[in-house]
Structure 1
Amino acid sequence: MSYHEPVMLQETLEGLQLQPNGTYVDLTFGGGGHSKAILQQLGEGGRLFAFDQDDDARQQATAITDPRFRFIETNFRHLKRYLKLFGVTAVDGILADLGVSSHQLDEPERGFSTRFEADLDMRMDRASSLTASEIVNTYPERELHKILGMYGEVKNAKSLAAAIVAKRINAPIRTVNDLKEVLNRYAPKGKEFKYQAQVFQALRIVVNDELQALEEMLEQTAEVLRSGGRLVVMSYHSLEDRLVKHFMAKGKFSGEAEKDFYGNMQRPLEPVTRKPIEPGAEEIARNNRARSARLRVAEKI
């Protein structure tokens, strides 16, 4: 559990409504906290498939020798294809704990955190080629403006994009501190850390194509869940949560839900929780990174 303390563990397990002989998927294995807890509640006939594209997660998974467990080292956007490879066409529950794990944040060389000096990397899959450094040093100003505004919700995104471009003319922006030097001149006074976090979030989303991968994954969950199966998703920022909320409620990511001739909504999932479940004060005091977590649950119709 020291690798990454699972957020809202009990609420997650309750949301899945685990059946002893069911087949389940943990789409974000990380340190394995959720997976280990699921395995403890499964019977001999139960199965658990875990996905993660991070090599560190794969190493953590090697410690689990349970024959009911299978680790799949790939992005969760390939959910349906890889389950099919293992002869699985329908599952009883799917869990996705989105965002960056505590381990990734605490590993300085990954470049995810503003707390450590490191190369601007931010790749969850270290085999991929695009890094945060490449984005800040090569993307056109207009594209940087769009990224910062759309994915970081940075209010002065246009000015910051221009400043980044001006800075890189003289010297490349290679490290966390190189970028923070630019950011701190544009951050609202007293909100420097939040401002840095917004920019890092924006870059990380683009490096890992996070929102597109999330959309692809959500659409596939509706296809592989059996009737009555549960989808449990935990998100940590509004962009993720909005996509999850819309898909669970409407079966799509924008616009109004489609209706049949009788006015019934045509959607594959039924939200179990109308409002997101949030961590309690005790858990936030114990694990500060839980403070922004939002948990939503839906059931396959």
Structure 2
Amino acid sequence: MAETAERSHEVQTGKVAIIGAGVMGETLVSGLLRAGRDAGSLVVSDRSPERLAAVKEQYAVPVASAADAAASVDTVVLAVKPQDMDKVLAVVRDHLAPGTLVVSIAAGITTAFLEERLPEGTPVARVMPNTPALVDEGMAAVSPGSHCDAHHLWVAQDLMRSCGKVLSVGEEHQDAVTAISGSGPAYIFYVVEAMIEAGVLLGLPRATATELTVQTLYGAATMLKETGEHPTVLRERVSSPGGTTVSALRELEDHKVRAAFLSAMEAAARRSAELASGQR
């Protein structure tokens, strides 16, 4: 069964290297600092000197080459593109101290892929985060590798708690996780775009349509989270017989919107599986 962990603000011991200072790498750096971790307990690496200099200036964290960063820490987070993972693993593998935890947040990179390219016995974990981590409302799912014990799993979870919520799942579920929460924000933004366009079509100024839509989305999500009610129950409370909402929902059903969402998420899961099998 998946276990949920809330965001923690406790300062954790041990040094962490974040290799890759792109969107998710920087998000993790900023989240860890906001959660109370000392900047000196982090070290950041990136292949772009300009990017590395910008992160150092903004967050006052130490920076180093990937090899040096990997050699000086207890946990290495690989926040690089999937197609770059082979090269990065080749660089860091001979610099890891025994027992160093390696955490990948790259889509489609399996724990077996990591273990095959790292020293025998290296504990690894696979994480699927999502972009709301940028505002500390992320949803991450962590899967342990074959050498990842309970403590290693806790460390991986704690890293991601700095940016939101965390679930522990079996790796066989990661393709579904990718389809739901990994890609999920894009589906929501797509719906929001459509609702805003509808507001403009109905004569509202774009700014007004945007504010109405965004706050409605925020309020509905808050209701789901705070009340614990099933979405069907909440939907039915808005749907008066013969009313406006029922008319709108009928149109959505006629256009098979629910079926389209199911098909879209199945496609995302299939693509995640293809990435994991090396079809990049």
Indicate the structure (1 or 2) with the bigger Cα radius of gyration: 2
Greater fraction helix? 2
Place the TM-score, normalised by the shorter chain, in its bin.
Answer: under 0.3
- TM-score between both structures, scaled by the size of structure 1: 0.26
Give the TM-score normalised by structure 2.
0.28
